[in-house]
Amino acid sequence: MRIVTWCLRFMLLALVLAAVWLNYDKIADQPSHFWWLLAFGVIMVLTVVVIDVFLPKNRLSVMAGVFFGLMVGLLISLGLALVVDMIDTFYRLGLTSEAKVGAKSVIGICVCYLVITIVMRTKDDVRFVIPYVEFAKQTKGSRPIVLDTSAIVDGRIADLCQSRLFDAPILVPRFVLHELQLIADSADKLKRNRGRRGLDILNKMQNNPMIDIEIDDTALPEVEGLAGVDQKLLAFSKVRDGKLATTDYNLSKVAQVRGVDVININDLANALKVVALPGETMQIRINKPGEEEDQGVGYLEDGTMVVVEGARNKIGREVQLSVTSSLQTSAGKMIFGRFEALAQGAGPDQNERRRPWRRNHEPQGGRAPSGDQQT
């Protein structure tokens, strides 16, 4: 990209020199004019190149706003120039042509500056005043999904994209990739494993032809000046008009306050889970005592906590319980139940026979079929 940019700059210089040379015959009798024209052309090229080099991060909407404001300002200045001539004629002020040119120049500069500043401050509202003229970025097609570190390390986003649930491009900002690298280089073994897992998942997603994923290396001025990855993620998602995918509960809440659309992977996973209805039965292994008296606690294979009343003395055994209620939040899910009986053939020494919970849907007239009673 840099090579192309510099080629364009050299082409600009060549075109300017060619334009000056084409006018050589017309001013050949006055060589000083030719050299002044050549110097002016070179200075103009250098000025444009310097502006291009030192202002590489300007957004297209900003430049469009400046040019639109300049055009409107020049049109208004042209009208005010006629007003200056009318005032001079009507009031017989007797202004010289030089004075009128100076007054018109001052008015033009001030009007152009005023219009440009007004357009830049109200560029998002210009469409309501002038239809079909808009400087705010409009994303065509699906809005991109911006991944944060927690969503990448979690790993479920790769399966969700593989299933074509998200028909949108995936963006990974470079500061998120940098944070993953820092975690992978951490001295703490647990953090190091999490970071390496995140890098492996990113590599897996990049090698999957069904997933449209991109590492965004763009240096955005709205993002680079912020401290903290979370703040950068929110600003990046706003600039890219994307949706933030995360498993961080607190980041999800901050994103909602800041007006950023967020996809909480935990909320999505909870929404896809089969809801445990009150009155249904399931089997669970009691692992530890609960906080309240006579409570036992077990876990499903997906990590959902199950609190069972009357199962405190059943630690290490599989029990059958009746669901009384369930609590589902962005931080996770809990199921509450009441102890019914010990699971058939389940004892404290049968760790290898541990199985996930299952529902026993009983017919209205009696017991479930024998095939549904396997444990």
Cβ partners under 8 Å of residue 368, min gap 6: 360, 361, 362
Assess whether pLDDT exceeds 60 at residue 147. Answer: yes
Q: How many percent of the chain have pLDDT more than 90?
A: 2
pLDDT of residue 345: 53
pLDDT top residue among 118 and 204: 204
Contact 161, 205 (CB under 8 A): yes
- The stretch 206-224 carries a mean pLDDT of 82
Strand pairing report for 332-342 and 305-309: parallel
Most confident of 83-97, 257-271, 307-321: 307-321
Cα→Cα distances 257→199, 234, 268, Å: 30, 11, 20
pLDDT for 362-373, tens place per residue?
443 343 333 333
Assess whether pLDDT exceeds 50 at residue 361. Answer: no
- The stretch 71-99 carries a mean pLDDT of 85
Contact 375, 368 (CB under 8 A): no
Report the distance separating Cα 125 and Cα 248, nearest Å: 34
**What mean pLDDT, rounded, does the chain reach?**
76
Give SS3 for 73: helix
pLDDT of residue 312: 87
- Quote the crossing angle between the two packed helices 229-240 and 249-257, to the nearest 10°: 50
pLDDT for 160-209, tens place per residue?
888 877 778 888 988 888 899 999 998 888 888 988 988 999 998 888 88
Report the distance separating Cα 163 and Cα 119, nearest Å: 45
pLDDT of residue 353: 39
Distance of CA 242 to the CA centre of its chain: 4
Question: Which of the 8 DSSP states describes residue 365?
Answer: T
For residue 235, which of 244, 225, 243, 223 has the smallest C-alpha distance? 223
Assess whether pLDDT exceeds 80 at residue 59. Answer: no
pLDDT of residue 354: 41
pLDDT of residue 24: 66
46 pLDDT tier (thresholds 50, 70, 90): confident
Cβ partners under 8 Å of residue 216, min gap 6: 171, 172, 173, 174, 236, 240
Give SS3 for 337: strand
Contact 230, 254 (CB under 8 A): yes
Report the distance separating Cα 339 and Cα 309, nearest Å: 6
CA dihedral for 172, 197, 298, 362, sign (positive or negative):
positive
For residue 244, which of 164, 135, 141, 157 has the smallest C-alpha distance? 157
Cβ partners under 8 Å of residue 210, min gap 6: 161, 162, 164
pLDDT for 16-31, tens place per residue?
777 777 766 666 666 6
- The stretch 213-241 carries a mean pLDDT of 83
Residue 351 exposure: Cα atoms within 13 Å on the Cβ side = 4
As annotated, the residues of the chain forming the CATH 2.40.50 domain(s) are: 275-362
As annotated, the residues of the chain forming the CATH 3.40.50.1010 domain(s) are: 145-271
pLDDT of residue 62: 66
pLDDT of residue 301: 72
β-sheet with 213-216: strand ranges across: 213-216, 170-173, 145-147, 243-246, 262-264
CATH 3.40.50.1010 fits 145-271, yes or no: yes
40 pLDDT tier (thresholds 50, 70, 90): confident
Which residue type is seen at 47?
A: T
129 pLDDT tier (thresholds 50, 70, 90): very low
pLDDT top residue among 341 and 345: 341
As a dihedral over the C-alpha atoms of residue 286, residue 287, residue 289, residue 292, rounded to 10 degrees, the angle is -60
pLDDT of residue 115: 82
pLDDT of residue 352: 38
Of 1.20.120, 1.10.3470, 2.40.50, 3.40.50, the CATH number of 275-362 is: 2.40.50
Question: Which of the 8 DSSP states describes residue 373?
Answer: G
Cα-flanking dihedrals φ and ψ of residue 43, to 5°? Answer: -65, -40
- The stretch 345-359 carries a mean pLDDT of 43
Assess whether pLDDT exceeds 80 at residue 9. Answer: no
